[in-house]
Structure 1
Amino acid sequence: MKLSLSVAGHLRLAECDIALEPVFALLDAVARERSVQAAARGLGVSYRSAWGRIASLEAALGRPVAVKTKGHGSALTPFGEALREALADAFASCAPALRASEARLAARLTPLLGLGSPVLRLAVSHDTLLSAALAGRPEFEVTIAGSAEALARLASGEADAAGFHFGARSPEPGSPFRAVFEDAALTVRPLFLREQGLICAAGNPLGLDSIADIARTGARFVNRQRGAGTRLWFERLCREAGLRPDAIRGAESEEFTHQAVAAIIASGAADSGMGTRAVAARFGLAFTPLGEETYYLAARAGADAQALALLVARIEAALPETLGYAPAA
């Protein structure tokens, strides 16, 4: 069977032409939700249509990518998960260059076409509360990135505002987090406090309460991507415990959201990872708190203050009812 890939994001196998972006969106949603029905709802398609897409993909690839599980849920097969990971890596590698090109093109076409001001561009570290506040807000163009990458996009002009966090009381000298507070051209405000900790299998069967426990037991760890605030926190905890990150089995792994980390642990493919209490609770997993951190929003002068103020108001309204979150001090 001949395989070819196009720059437009298509996979061609014999007579089949598979659009990769919707395939990744579907596989990622199934892995995250552990349910084809919930995945379909999140993608705005019918349950029947979602299974139809899965069946078409399986027919083209010649092997199953998802199966129904006990309790009326669904899960990716090992092949389906490997395909999801391969696509995630590919899109993560291509996304920065594509987004930069799109931003430059939009900036040039907007005045030419008389379309008025472009939407407010946000680069943010992933957070469930923030994502909920941004849902259904067309005035925002949102890019999910690690904290360090979000700040890099803000500095380069690819974003008008950036959401970031770091697991320490004060940023280390020379870090991008210190620089953002020292930049007079930026306004930085705390959005909320959130609790982070170790996420483990339900009941924490291995008794993992610290990074040292993970190293001692050889437990399988699932990490975040380089530049993510959570990964930087993990690396700091390793230093404090006198451990090299590579002493942790799986420290080289890279996932791009708290949900992805939790989904892998829930599937049994890993024993532990770092994430928020809210995500651990959503997946029915054990949670050992490691501390609170502040999530910040940095905005460049001239960014739409009214739009940002409305976003902040939505977040503040949701804080009292969101597990593991609190108003910023």
Structure 2
Amino acid sequence: MTEPANDRPVSVALGLGGLLRIGGRAVAVADVLTLLNAIQATGSVQGVATELELSYRAAWDRLRNLEAALGHQLVQKTRGHGSALTPFGLSLRQVLGDATAGLAAALAREGRAVEASLTALFTETPRRLALAASHDLLLMEVVEALGEGEVAVVGSKEAVQRLLDGRADVAGFHLGAEPLSASGPPFAELADNPGLRVLPLFEREQGLMLAAGNPLGIRAFPDLAGRRARYVNRQKGSGTRLWFDRLLAEHAIPAAEVQGYGVEEFTHQAVAAVIATGTADAGLGARSAAERFGLHFLSIGWETYYLAASATLPTEALDRLVSAVAARAERSPGYKAPPRS
């Protein structure tokens, strides 16, 4: 009896492939690297045989055939120490190993996209998206309502890095008023990358969230330092923290002059809650969080919140999320749908 497809989880692991052609001979890159790594790890041909589940003779035959194809000796016996890679073998292993390491993140990312497609094909049920996203109340509410994704709340930098490394299907991030191409790593890796799909999700108003009634009379950004406001910051790597640090630089305000600069919270809502309890006087965050806690709000500007994913990730669930968020943004204070090109 055939086991139902939807009872079997789908898993995909992509690896380095291709052929290494020397003259008229061709050898699989993966086979070369596997043999070289086995020699380096075990220090003996017997170790290669055990690791690759071959007989001792078959392991030697494979090594000699590979050396004949490449035209160079790869392994040398050392008296009393088994076998070791020759200088040529070591260099070849280094070159192929570096290529594997350089492609590892992209292969892991594409492996997740293929896995999502195959899950839908085999089970006829879309796999839930794994989102790594900078915190936003509207986004979290829509994801929960749709029930098609799971969110790990992290800073914008971490969200993008998880996508690039293949540890998430989708990244949600923001940069203040900074364009992608000017934002440095890892954000700049998303700009004009044909392997990735980057979508503006909504525009969001950010500003200084201040104690109700603004008792310190803060009217402009420099007043944070001038009036000794107790500030609560966002964590390093968050888009809001990056924007705040740029604002400090623009106004020539040393971080040491901001009382509480080292005090960190991980969401807009947490920052607003700290201010609402009277523990702090100010923090940078979204208008939506300020209004939810009844705080005074001094606008700094609007920013775009983005989603990024592999270009080969199935689009249905992602498109539903984008549409639902855009519809909610159009009727929510402090948000608006992004301009469409």
TM-score by length of 2: 0.61
Distance in 2 between the 1:320 and 1:167 partners?
A: 20
Q: Could you say if the C-alpha distance between residues 173 and 323 of structure 1 is closer, same or farther in structure 2, counting changes exceeding 3 Å? A: closer
Q: Deviations for 1:52-84, whole angstroms, at most 9, x for unmatched residues? A: xxxxxxxxxxxxxxxxxxxxxxxxxxxxxxxxx
Number of the residue aligned with 2:140:
131
Distance in 1 between the 2:334 and 2:292 partners?
A: 12
Number of the residue aligned with 1:162:
171
Alpha carbons 1:262, 1:279 under 8 Å: kept: yes
Number of the residue aligned with 1:232:
242
Alpha carbons 1:167, 1:293 under 8 Å: kept: yes
Alpha carbons 2:143, 2:150 under 8 Å: kept: no
Distance in 2 between the 1:325 and 1:142 partners?
A: 20
Number of the residue aligned with 1:203:
213
Matched, 1:264 2:254: no
Q: Deviations for 1:261-317, whole angstroms, at most 9, x for unmatched residues? A: 000000000000011111111111000000000001111123231001111111122
Distance in 2 between the 1:187 and 1:152 partners?
A: 15
Tell me how many residue pairs correspond in the alignment: 222
Aligned-residue offset at 1:117: 6.5
| Matched ranges for 1:1-329 at <5 A | 118-171=127-180, 172=182, 174-329=184-339
* RMSD after superposition: 2.3
Aligned-residue offset at 1:173: 5.1
Number of the residue aligned with 2:101:
none
Distance in 2 between the 1:182 and 1:253 partners?
A: 36
Aligned-residue offset at 1:245: 1.7
Distance in 2 between the 1:173 and 1:213 partners?
A: 27
Distance in 2 between the 1:279 and 1:173 partners?
A: 25
Distance in 2 between the 1:136 and 1:327 partners?
A: 19
| Structure 1 gap segments, 5+ residues each | 1-103
Alpha carbons 1:225, 1:254 under 8 Å: kept: yes
Q: Report SS of the residue matched to 2:262.
A: coil
Distance in 1 between the 2:301 and 2:205 partners?
A: 6
Aligned-residue offset at 1:118: 4.0
| Structure 2 gap segments, 5+ residues each | 1-111
Alpha carbons 1:246, 1:252 under 8 Å: kept: no
Q: Report SS of the residue matched to 1:210.
A: coil
Q: Report SS of the residue matched to 1:195.
A: strand
Distance in 2 between the 1:315 and 1:209 partners?
A: 32
Structure 1, 204-213 or 232-241: larger mean CA deviation: 204-213
Alpha carbons 1:163, 1:295 under 8 Å: kept: yes
Q: Could you say if the C-alpha distance between residues 173 and 144 of structure 1 is closer, same or farther in structure 2, counting changes exceeding 3 Å? A: closer
Aligned-residue offset at 1:211: 3.1
Q: Report SS of the residue matched to 2:240.
A: helix
Paired amino acid for 2:257? A
Q: Deviations for 1:21-77, whole angstroms, at most 9, x for unmatched residues? A: xxxxxxxxxxxxxxxxxxxxxxxxxxxxxxxxxxxxxxxxxxxxxxxxxxxxxxxxx
Number of the residue aligned with 2:19:
none
Distance in 1 between the 2:316 and 2:252 partners?
A: 47
Distance in 2 between the 1:158 and 1:120 partners?
A: 11
